[in-house]
């Protein structure tokens, strides 16, 4: 039901020269963090731009906060953080606070100033003097103070050092502690998403491969490590994706425990989210 989702995307299509987004469907349940993953050019940014109303889809339906006809009142409760930062370098955080206060009726100036202090972001320093990590923290602090219900991040942690990325992930976890707040985060750093995401949406070459709870990928999926002689013995119906290595095969299966019972002579390991994605991207599907 749309009321249970901060975002519902249904049958989203967008065609460009040399690329097309084809029938993408997924949702962001309220109170969750959803990770959007895929290779460069998979369609992640196109999807996020359509969600934010920055590009017009050729087909499909997008419901924001339960509304398909999302006007300013709805969109003012959705905030986006881009990989290049949100604000011009000539402004200071103090000036940004004034601008945001005039643009968003629900702006919480006290929360904003408190976050600036907590994050060590000087109010009077121009953003061009901020590191990229500081700019990302500022953009997220502004989204918090905007009282956003849905926070959309487009590769916002890319290129940041691990300590700063960890700080930002903690901020996202804090954000969804407030009932009803949700996050859609696009990232190619699957290790970050393993820490915070509740669901993973995987796009590959403009198509949706799957939308799964993260814990299902981590605890149910498995990888059979088998020899070239063992590979032909596998039931093709068990194989989600397979990749040939020098002298062996890595085979992705959707039920590790069932595979262990069926193939007791083979080594079957748990699969990380990154391994699942890489096998789909670089392997062969059955």
Distance from the Cα of residue 18 to its chain's centroid? 24
For residue 70, pLDDT over 80 is answered with no
Sequence-ordered alpha helix ranges (H) in 146-253: 162-177, 190-196, 214-219
**Secondary structure letter of residue 118 according to DSSP:** H
Give per-residue pLDDT as tens, 197-227.
Answer: 999 999 999 999 999 999 999 999 999 999 9
Residue 187 has a pLDDT of 87
Q: Are 184 and 153 in contact (CB under 8 A)?
A: yes
Residue 1 has a pLDDT of 36
For residue 22, pLDDT over 70 is answered with yes
Cα–Cα distance for residue pair 198/279, rounded to 1 Å: 21
| Integer angstrom CA distances of residue 157 from 5, 80, 115 | 25, 13, 19
Q: For the chain, how far is it from start to end, CA to CA, in angstroms?
A: 33
Beta strands in the chain, from DSSP E residues, in sequence order: 5-16, 19-29, 33-37, 59-64, 78-82, 150-154, 182-186, 199-204, 207-213, 222-227, 241-244, 248-253, 267-270
For residue 3, pLDDT over 70 is answered with no
| Integer angstrom CA distances of residue 286 from 130, 241, 251, 252 | 49, 6, 10, 10
Give the pLDDT band of residue 283 (cuts 50, 70, 90): confident
Sequence-ordered alpha helix ranges (H) in 85-232: 93-103, 109-118, 132-145, 162-177, 190-196, 214-219
Residue 69 has a pLDDT of 78
Q: Quick one: average pLDDT of 110-116?
A: 94
Q: What percent of the chain has pLDDT over 70?
A: 98
Task: Output phi, psi for 73, to 5 deg.
Answer: -60, -40
Residue 286 has a pLDDT of 59
Give the pLDDT band of residue 111 (cuts 50, 70, 90): very high
Q: What percent of the chain has pLDDT over 90?
A: 67
For residue 37, pLDDT over 90 is answered with yes
Give per-residue pLDDT as tens, 115-165.
Answer: 999 889 999 999 999 998 899 889 988 988 998 899 999 988 877 888 888
Residue 144 has a pLDDT of 87
- The tokens for 72 are 């300013």
**Secondary structure letter of residue 57 according to DSSP:** -
Torsion-angle region of residue 41: left (phi > 0), alpha (psi -120 to 50) or beta? left
For residue 2, pLDDT over 60 is answered with no
Instruction: Please compute Rg for the chain using Cα positions.
Output: 21
- The tokens for 76 are 């003012």
Give per-residue pLDDT as tens, 87-108.
Answer: 889 999 999 999 999 988 889 9
Give per-residue pLDDT as tens, 232-253.
Answer: 999 999 999 999 998 899 999 9
Q: Are 203 and 38 in contact (CB under 8 A)?
A: yes
Task: Output phi, psi for 220, to 5 deg.
Answer: -105, -40
For residue 62, pLDDT over 70 is answered with yes
- CA nearest 243: which of 272, 281, 189? 281
- pTM check: above 0.85: yes
């Amino acid at each position: 039901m749309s009321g249970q989702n901060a975002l519902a995307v249904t049958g989203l299509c967008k065609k460009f020269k040399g690329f097309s987004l084809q029938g993408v469907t997924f949702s962001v349940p309220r109170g969750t963090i959803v990770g959007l993953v895929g290779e460069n050019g998979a369609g992640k940014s196109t999807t996020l731009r359509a969600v934010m109303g920055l590009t017009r889809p050729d087909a499909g339906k997008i419901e924001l906060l339960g509304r398909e006809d999302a006007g300013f009142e709805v969109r003012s409760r959705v905030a986006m953080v881009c990989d290049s930062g949100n604000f011009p370098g000539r402004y200071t955080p103090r000036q940004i606070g004034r601008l945001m206060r005039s643009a968003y009726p629900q702006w919480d100036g006290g929360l904003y100033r408190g976050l600036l202090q907590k994050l060590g972001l000087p109010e009077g320093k121009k953003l061009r003097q901020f590191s990229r990590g500081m700019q990302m923290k500022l953009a997220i602090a502004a989204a918090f103070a905007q009282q956003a219900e849905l926070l959309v991040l487009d590769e916002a942690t890319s290129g940041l050092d691990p300590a700063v990325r960890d700080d930002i992930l903690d901020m996202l976890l804090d954000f969804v502690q407030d009932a009803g707040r949700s996050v859609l985060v696009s990232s190619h750093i699957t290790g970050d998403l393993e820490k915070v995401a509740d669901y993973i949406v995987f796009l590959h070459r403009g198509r949706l491969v799957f939308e799964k709870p993260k814990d299902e990928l981590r605890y149910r999926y498995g990888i059979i490590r088998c020899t070239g002689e063992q590979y032909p013995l596998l039931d093709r119906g068990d194989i989600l994706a397979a990749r040939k290595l020098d002298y062996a095969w890595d085979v992705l299966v959707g039920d590790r425990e069932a595979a262990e019972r069926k193939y007791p002579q083979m080594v079957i390991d748990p699969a990380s989210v990154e391994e699942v994605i890489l096998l789909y991207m670089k392997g062969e599907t059955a």
